[in-house]
Amino acid sequence: MPRANSSLVVAGIGGLFVLEVLFFTYLRNSLGPYWSPVVLYAISLALTALAARAVLGCRFEWPTVPNRPVVARFALGAGLVAASWLLTGPVISKLISQYPAATIGPRSDIVPALQVYVTRFLAADEVVYQPITMLGYTFLPNYAPLQWLPFVGAELAGLDYRWWAFLALLTGLLVYQGQLARLALPKGEWGLKAVLPLLVLHFFVLSSKDVFRFTVEGLIVGYYCVLVASTLSGKVWLQVLGLTLCLLSRFSLALWVPLYGLLLLWENPRRGWLTAGLTLAAGLLLFGPFLLHDPTIFLRAQLENLNIAEGEWAHMHIGQAKPVHLFNGVGLASWFFDMPGTLVERITRLQQVQFGACTAVVLVSGGLFWRFRHRFDPRLAALLSLKAYLATFYALLIIPYVYLASVSLFTSLFVVLIVSRRAPFLVSFARPAAPATQASAD
């Protein structure tokens, strides 16, 4: 029988989601730079824990629904994504026009750096991964291939990179709408969940204008939407796509990936090994050619990031007594900044805590899954452990930029997706599992 959660649990999860959105947007830093991030992090973990409790004892199965209702709902969901463009697009356009790409350099080096990568790639005789001299200083290239390769399309189309990234974010939300359409939820609940991405995105844009003015983080958010969606899928190509997009853009997932691999192997060993092998092959094919000129340059660039962190921790903005990005209400770096010790010692201490906490999340998630492995679906475990991991990783980031932490916020949409008062996609473990051949078609 399909699982029915209590109204109280569903309301609690909905309330926590609303609080997370508010504390990340309009209520950000409302409790001060020390307790605001603590509350935000606690809300994120509580949301994940309550969702895990709600789905305990259930397997995830895609409901068998006629194509026509699914297509109709997806079309309406796509219309809401288009409405998001119409609602938020004018704000994005105004923000971008305030700082054209040619003049954005003094305020942010993200777009100028991306232009260097893309220009080198399009020039047949240029090596992409070599030192970059820009804005009066030289640094090693530290962007992974899928962090800049997509902007080759923007360059060829003559489109501002920030618009291109916003389109990628909308594409990620379209993936969300596709999964929502397949869940066969009651009309009212489906409508509410279909509108959520539009509201979250608009609130985020209005409360975090610099994110869309100076960064291209929408691309990464779009990547993670694909990854989170792939955790609920049994399709190898989607799992490989999600992992490749995220691992070859940033390395935030490094500690979580082994847990995901074990969950994939537990669910279906053949598919798990195939996913791992294809992901590794995709990584080598996409990254390997760029490292032939200097195999160590990218690793050296990552080590160089410590100097960047030191500069940010020591940098005081005009009118600010402390580094503004450390006290913006989304990260716990503010606590470590005021600890005793030298700058390097405090940064190193935060790095160690981040590594330990992220490792603990992975081990605890894995341990809990093993404890309840006969009552907990590995797909749901992958999604919820990813949410807990991202919340922890970004809460303890050395420089907790708002745009980086937004990845965790948008992941919560998929957590809310899997919890329902009437959940036709959650089936009691008391019912016999579907044959592997049938499950592989999900």
The DSSP string of 261-314 is: HHHHHHH-HHHHHHHHHHHHHHHHHHHGGGGSS-TTHHHHHHHHHHHHHHHHHH
The answer to whether residue 17 scores a pLDDT higher than 50 is yes
Q: Kindly report the CA angle at 10 between 201 and 266, in degrees rounded to 5?
A: 85
Model confidence at 442, pLDDT cuts 50, 70, 90, reads: low
- Determine the Cα–Cα distance for residues 96 and 388; give it in Å rounded to an integer: 33
- Determine the Cα–Cα distance for residues 148 and 216; give it in Å rounded to an integer: 10
The greatest distance separating any two alpha carbons of the chain, rounded to the nearest whole angstrom, comes to 65
In terms of Cα–Cα distance, which of 378, 424, 420, 414 is closest to 63? 424
- The mean pLDDT of 212-228, rounded to a whole number, is 96
The answer to whether residue 4 scores a pLDDT higher than 70 is no
Model confidence at 1, pLDDT cuts 50, 70, 90, reads: very low
Torsion sign over Cα 232, 233, 234, 239: negative
How distant is the alpha carbon of residue 100 from its chain centre?
27
Strands 423-428, 58-60: parallel, antiparallel or unpaired by DSSP? Answer: antiparallel
Average pLDDT score over the chain: 91
Model confidence over 294-334: pLDDT tens digits? 888 988 888 777 777 787 888 755 455 678 889 999 999 99
Per the rule left: phi > 0, alpha: psi between -120 and 50, beta: everything else, 319 is left
Strand partners, 34: none
Model confidence over 354-411: pLDDT tens digits? 999 999 999 999 999 999 999 999 999 999 999 999 999 999 999 999 999 999 999 9
Q: What is the radius of gyration, based on Cα positions, of the chain? A: 22
Looking at residue 434, the DSSP 8-state letter turns out to be P
Model confidence over 83-133: pLDDT tens digits? 999 999 999 999 999 999 888 888 888 999 999 999 999 997 889 999 999
The answer to whether residue 431 scores a pLDDT higher than 80 is no
Model confidence at 335, pLDDT cuts 50, 70, 90, reads: very high
Using CA atoms of 294, 299, 301, 306 in order, give the dihedral in degrees to the nearest 10.
Answer: -160
- Determine the Cα–Cα distance for residues 94 and 211; give it in Å rounded to an integer: 13
Q: What is the pLDDT of residue 435?
A: 46
Structure tokens at 242: 């999600």
- Determine the Cα–Cα distance for residues 267 and 436; give it in Å rounded to an integer: 9
Backbone angles phi, psi at 135, to 5 degrees: 55, 30
pTM reported for the whole predicted model = 0.93
Torsion sign over Cα 41, 43, 48, 49: positive
- The mean pLDDT of 152-167, rounded to a whole number, is 96
- Determine the Cα–Cα distance for residues 377 and 76; give it in Å rounded to an integer: 30
Residue boundaries of the structural domains of the chain: 2-439
Backbone angles phi, psi at 134, to 5 degrees: -160, 140
The answer to whether residue 439 scores a pLDDT higher than 60 is no
- Sequence letter at residue 306: L
In terms of Cα–Cα distance, which of 273, 161, 292 is closest to 215? 161
Q: What is the pLDDT of residue 5?
A: 65
Torsion sign over Cα 320, 322, 325, 327: negative
Structure tokens at 282: 């995709």
